[in-house]
Amino acid sequence: MKLLQFFCLVSLLILDVAFGVKHELFKRCDQSGFCRRNRHYGNEISKTQNKYYSINEESVKFGHSVITGDIQKSLNQSHSVRLPFTLEILENNNIRLQIDEDRSKFEFNHKLLQKERYNEAWKYAFNGIPKISKNYKVSDISNGQFDILYGKDEQYKLEVYTEHFEIIVKYHNEPQIIFNERSFLNVEHIRSKDNHESSLLQEELNFGSFQDSFKDSKADTLPFGPESVALDVTFQGFKHVYGIPEHADSLSLRDTTASEPYRLYNVDIFEYEVDSRLPMYGAIPLLVAHKPGVSAGLFWVNGADTYVDIKKQDRSVPNALREHIDTQTHWISESGIIDVVIFIGSSPTEITSNYAKLSGQTQLPQLFSLGYHQGRWNYNDEEDVLTISENMDKYEIPCDVIWLDLEYTDSRRYFTWKKGSFPDPERMLAKLNETYRSLVTLIDPHLKLNYEVSDQVSEKNLAFLDKNGKDFHGHCWPGESLWIDTFNPNSQEFWTTLFANDSGFAGDATNLHIWNDMNEPSVFSGPETTAPKDVITYGNVEIRSDHNIYGLTYHEATFEALKERYINKRPFVLTRSFFAGSQRSAAMWTGDNMSKWEYLKVSIQMILNQNIANMPFSGADIGGFFGNPSKELLTRWYQTGIWYPFFRAHAHIDSRRREPWVPGEPYTSLIRNAIRLRYRLLPLFYTKLYQSHVNGSLVLDPLFYKFPDNRDVFEIDDQFYIDGLLIKPVTEEGAESINIYIPDDEIHYDYDTFQKFQGLGDHRISTPLEKIPVLIRGGTILSRKDRYRRSSKLTRYDPYTLVIALDSNRKAKGNLYIDDGETYNYKLADQYLYLELNFVDNILNSEILEGAGSTGGSTKVEKIQIIGDDLSFEEIFIKQNDTEWSGSFEKHDNYYVVKNPNVDLSKNWSVSFR
Ligand SMILES: *[C@@H]1O[C@H](CO)[C@@H](O)[C@H](O)[C@H]1NC(C)=O
Ligand SMILES: *[C@@H]1O[C@H](CO)[C@@H](O)[C@H](O)[C@H]1NC(C)=O
Ligand SMILES: *[C@@H]1O[C@H](CO)[C@@H](O)[C@H](O)[C@H]1NC(C)=O
Ligand SMILES: *[C@@H]1O[C@H](CO)[C@@H](O)[C@H](O)[C@H]1NC(C)=O
Ligand SMILES: *[C@@H]1O[C@H](CO)[C@@H](O)[C@H](O)[C@H]1NC(C)=O
Ligand SMILES: *[C@@H]1O[C@H](CO)[C@@H](O)[C@H](O)[C@H]1NC(C)=O
Ligand SMILES: *[C@@H]1O[C@H](CO)[C@@H](O)[C@H](O)[C@H]1NC(C)=O
């Protein structure tokens, strides 16, 4: 025992020293041939003025819904490569440009190669086939140009230039976005290894075209040579751009001219760093640009290894009133086609929402999954799990889910349970179910060789293949493994049987949910900890081309399998790896970060960015994954984590236990208070997720989403709004007070004391450890459920408390969504309520906007609290079902309380304050 403790201590010390990402594991741009070539190409092109890409005017056809033609890439006087393009106006005034390559004349001698470039990323990234608008006008081609007018009042215009391929996108007569302004467009056409020198342009230097020098032992065989695609896109007058998660970096993206580009390549970046452009577990190639009056988005629909260079180009004229800065971006993908969608509108919300219409809205999660999740690598056995659950009750801490990491399995074989430790999983699940709690277990895509599941995957030809067409084998948690290829449609049926209620895996319990980890995929023995790029996925596609999409196909397969298991219940799946579209079926967390203050801080930036990229159901491990947080850090992390839409504490196997009762008083009470605050606000979180589900709105709004005209907020990424709550988590050790920035002149009230803060700018708030800095913006109506319950499902029949914070015009507004919290009945049978609460002219009105029928829970209101200045009401009259009666209330200094108004939210009602 002593010896073991000693060993643990030593290993902790060693770990502490060893923390830090292993840079040498990951390629830099100059070690990735295609990135280096394209950066070089860009540099050379800007010197030479060479413009190799033009539109063949004779090839252009103006169809009813699409414009097609050929771009020519000129190699020399007599030779060019044909690159067919399509240009479409999609609904909501989005533009889509695709550029492919005609390879029909090329002699292929590799049997595994598809004759076409990979062009299916959109099938995963879009939610179905996008709708095309036929509502546009197009001019004839003259003087090397044609124009397309579209949108309401023809407020959008595309100017397409043919001699030197370029497209200018105008909105309200101003150029906003320019394709190929800098001539970085580059499509590396197919060539054979033997005579590729002759088919090179001078600028297309041969950096690693057919060979990779990264690490000899893990070198990429590059069987098909260079096939990258690249394009430059300028955002005119936009100083700030955001998005392209996942990176542990500031919200407003940095200039990368003198550093590494932002890289999108899903990898297991164990112990990552903050302030970094290194790739991480997931990738959403959506960039959002914003300036007052105009916002724009660029969706680079490509699932291959991708680098994005960002340059802030100062074009201010001397003595001008305002600086003029363009953001110039350079998108470089290793393979696939150019497939890019542009969004332009008047606000950032419009961009995210337009993107959501294309790529799919966030799932509506079960209510329980917005509650508190208690995880750890690992809870050792059934008794450990049940004791954790009992302790939650003993310490009166609400909790919805206990998590089992890797070690619950028998020798890391998924779909098995460790013998002895988990003798009767069904019994354990039934026990948890007594308090309406759930269990989440880990199921990863690597499958240990030589057991039932992997044997079947192999027999059914559902595994990734290596470059010779044999099952690909690599190293991961269980040792030698194969990977289920969820690009293969046949995988779904098999995967579904593994989760079925008669599969033997946890019986028919419906309080079992699934966590998909390591789905980048993580391959310990592979280059950059992932699969070699010449691994073959379904349909003879090298994983080089669909790498970033794999994680999505895997968690979607799990989601679909669980749907079968639960019949009408919404599955909960947590994924580490993700791609555009993942929001439709999974929650994400930020992976394996550390128990340090700077990670607490960057978690907010990362989660805001996930919101911008329409994947709001996201969180970070409370307390940090690696290491042992101080009690103060742990407490602050809970106080921050209650605002993450996905709220889970989790820890590495080598860290000490740190469940809420472990730190002792006063910390345990402070953590309890924080978690209970989250539970009181569950109706708010649930309503925000419903709104996101329906309209693609954000759950956490960065300040510039709410105040798009206030330039001072464009870089603020340490505070945010959830509806009308303005939150600034404390992320500094020992902070006795902090500044919170109020973005306009509206009144804001302290959440706890109702103290008034007013005036644009910084306000000092004192932040002893018990203080969670939250202000309620005047004009907000919040719905809460205030009673303590052991889990969220137990709050179902609890009545609501409404909190009305009046603005300077004595108005306020809010929405509330209610349904049964777990099934799809809200879709099938309209069994939900979406209502608006509106306080105006001293009358509070509650009106049903959508939905009908039962919600399967309480719709009673037990309390209405009204906060404002100079309240001077003497009496109130409540009205429902055509009867009116006078109610009573209590007066306090700066708020009034109406107790038991006896109204029911399932019918319209009103309260008149006189
Ligand atoms: C032009 O390019 C083609 C294709 O790369 C090549 O075969 C040909 O030799 C080149 N011709 C000249 C004159 O350089
Ligand atoms: C098991 O699943 C099947 C198919 O989804 C379903 O018909 C059946 O009712 C389920 N059984 C139980 C006990 O949930
Ligand atoms: C879980 O518990 C609830 C309440 O006791 C019960 O209605 C439900 O049937 C239980 N579910 C299972 C799978 O045992
Ligand atoms: C890392 O995880 C911690 C929790 O594990 C999270 O708070 C933090 O934000 C994450 N790091 C980053 C950069 O997220
Ligand atoms: C979605 O947006 C529409 C149009 O703005 C609005 O009327 C509706 O209330 C919104 N619905 C939700 C649930 O946010
Ligand atoms: C409730 O209010 C909404 C919105 O004003 C209205 O459309 C609806 O008809 C009202 N319902 C009833 C039963 O009056
Ligand atoms: C109005 O009618 C609904 C259902 O018809 C009922 O639940 C509610 O209690 C009624 N309200 C009042 C104040 O009687």
CATH no. for residue 284?
2.60.40.1760
**Which residue, by CA, sits nearest to atom 8 of ligand 1?**
198
Name residues contacting ligand 4 (CB within 6 A): 248, 274, 590, 593, 599-600, 602-603, 606, 620-621, 624-625
Helix axes 543-566 and 490-499, enclosed angle (nearest 10):
40
CB 255 within 8 A of CB 312: yes
> Which burial class, exposed, middle or buried, applies to 850 when counting CB atoms under 10 A from its CB (0-12, 13-18, 19+)?
middle
* Ligand 5 proximity of 695 Cβ (cutoff 6 Å): yes
With tokens 């079926």, the residue in question is: 585
Final residue before a domain boundary, out of 331, 359, 387: 359
The whole-angstrom separation of Cα 531 and Cα 547 is: 8
Helix axes 597-612 and 631-641, enclosed angle (nearest 10):
10
CB 286 within 8 A of CB 580: yes
Verify whether residue 249 is a known catalytic residue.
no
CB 41 within 8 A of CB 186: yes
Strand partners for 480: 475
Q: What is the model's pLDDT at position 18?
A: 41
Positive or negative: CA dihedral 641, 644, 646, 650: negative
Q: Radius of gyration of the chain from Cα atoms?
A: 28
In-domain check, residue 191:
yes
The whole-angstrom separation of Cα 658 and Cα 489 is: 42
What distance in angstroms lies between residue 891's CA and the mean position of ligand 7's atoms? Answer: 27
Per DSSP, which regions of 306-376 are E strands? 306-314, 325-333, 338-345, 372-374
3-state secondary structure labels for all residues of 189-228: CCCCCCCHHHHCCCCCCCCCCCCCCCCHHHCCCCCCCCCC
**Which residue, by CA, sits nearest to atom 1 of ligand 5?**
695
**Which residue, by CA, sits nearest to atom 1 of ligand 3?**
433
Q: What is the model's pLDDT at position 270?
A: 75
- Annotate 746-759 with DSSP letters as a single string: S-EEETTT--EE-S
In-domain check, residue 762:
no
Q: What is the model's pLDDT at position 197?
A: 67
The whole-angstrom separation of Cα 459 and Cα 167 is: 50
Enter the DSSP assignment of 4. H
Ligand 2 atom nearest to CA at 501: 1
In-domain check, residue 416:
no
* Ligand 2 proximity of 14 Cβ (cutoff 6 Å): no
395: left (phi over 0), alpha (psi -120 to 50) or beta: alpha
Q: Can you give the length of the chain in residues? A: 914
Q: Which helix (H) or strand (E) holds 695?
A: helix 682-695
- Annotate 405-446 with DSSP letters as a single string: -GGGSBTTBTT---TTTSS-HHHHHHHHHHTT-EEEEE--SE
CB 714 within 8 A of CB 290: yes
* Ligand 6 proximity of 908 Cβ (cutoff 6 Å): yes
Total domain count, the chain: 2
Q: What is the model's pLDDT at position 113?
A: 67
Domain that residue 346 falls in = 29-359
Q: Which helix (H) or strand (E) holds 804?
A: strand 800-805
**Which residue, by CA, sits nearest to atom 12 of ligand 5?**
691
Final residue before a domain boundary, out of 301, 330, 359: 359
* Ligand 6 proximity of 848 Cβ (cutoff 6 Å): yes
Structure tokens at 400: 């919805």
* Ligand 2 proximity of 564 Cβ (cutoff 6 Å): yes
Supply the CATH number for residue 869's domain. 2.60.40.1180
In-domain check, residue 563:
no
With tokens 């059914």, the residue in question is: 460
Ligand minimally distant from the alpha carbon of residue 438? 3
Ligand minimally distant from the alpha carbon of residue 196? 1
* Ligand 2 proximity of 653 Cβ (cutoff 6 Å): no
Q: Which helix (H) or strand (E) holds 494?
A: helix 490-499
Q: Which amino acid is at 582?
A: S
Ligand minimally distant from the alpha carbon of residue 350? 5
**Which residue, by CA, sits nearest to atom 14 of ligand 4?**
603
Give the mutation target among 505, 508, 563 for probing the ligand 2 site: most ligand atoms within 8 A of CB.
Answer: 508
Enter the DSSP assignment of 904. B
Pick from 408, 269, 294: which is nearest to 350 by CA? Answer: 294
In-domain check, residue 523:
no
* Ligand 1 proximity of 198 Cβ (cutoff 6 Å): yes
Pick from 757, 692, 696: which is nearest to 726 by CA? Answer: 757
Ligand 3 atom nearest to CA at 511: 13
> Which burial class, exposed, middle or buried, applies to 368 when counting CB atoms under 10 A from its CB (0-12, 13-18, 19+)?
buried
CB 716 within 8 A of CB 702: yes
* Cis bond upstream, residue 521 (ω within 30): yes
CB 687 within 8 A of CB 681: no
In-domain check, residue 263:
yes
Strands 541-542 and 294-300: unpaired
What distance in angstroms lies between residue 263's CA and the mean position of ligand 5's atoms? Answer: 35
From the centroid of its chain, how far is CA 202? 40
In-domain check, residue 774:
no
Instruction: Give me the catalytic one of 334, 592, 621, 718.
Output: 592
Strand partners for 542: 536
Strand partners for 88: 96
Backbone angles phi, psi at 726, to 5 degrees: -100, 120
What distance in angstroms lies between residue 100's CA and the mean position of ligand 1's atoms? Answer: 22
What distance in angstroms lies between residue 695's CA and the mean position of ligand 4's atoms? Answer: 28
Q: Which amino acid is at 794?
A: L
Strand partners for 345: 295
Other Cβ atoms within 10 Å of 48 Cβ, number: 11
Enter the DSSP assignment of 544. H
Ligand minimally distant from the alpha carbon of residue 901? 7
> In which residue ranges of the chain is pLDDT below 70?
1-21, 110-113, 196-198, 271
In-domain check, residue 272:
yes
* Ligand 1 proximity of 892 Cβ (cutoff 6 Å): no
Q: Greatest CA separation found in the chain? A: 92
Spatial neighbors of 629 by CB under 8 A, at least 6 apart, are 595, 596, 623, 637, 658
* Ligand 2 proximity of 503 Cβ (cutoff 6 Å): no
Q: Give ∠ CA 229-270-628 in degrees, rounded to 5.
A: 150
* Ligand 6 proximity of 424 Cβ (cutoff 6 Å): no
Verify whether residue 520 is a known catalytic residue.
yes
The whole-angstrom separation of Cα 353 and Cα 889 is: 41
Enter the DSSP assignment of 110. -
CB 467 within 8 A of CB 223: yes
**Termini Cα distance of the chain:** 72
Q: What is the model's pLDDT at position 683?
A: 98
Structure tokens at 405: 């990491």
Which spans in 500-622 are helix H? Answer: 543-566, 597-612
Measured CA to CA in angstroms, residue 260 lies from 26, 39, 181, 183, 499 at distances of 12, 11, 22, 21, 43
The whole-angstrom separation of Cα 368 and Cα 148 is: 49
Final residue before a domain boundary, out of 299, 328, 359: 359
Instruction: Give me the catalytic one of 339, 520, 717, 862.
Output: 520
Backbone angles phi, psi at 571, to 5 degrees: -70, 155
Ligand 4 atom nearest to CA at 272: 13
Other Cβ atoms within 10 Å of 812 Cβ, number: 26
Pick from 30, 583, 34: which is nearest to 305 by CA? Answer: 34
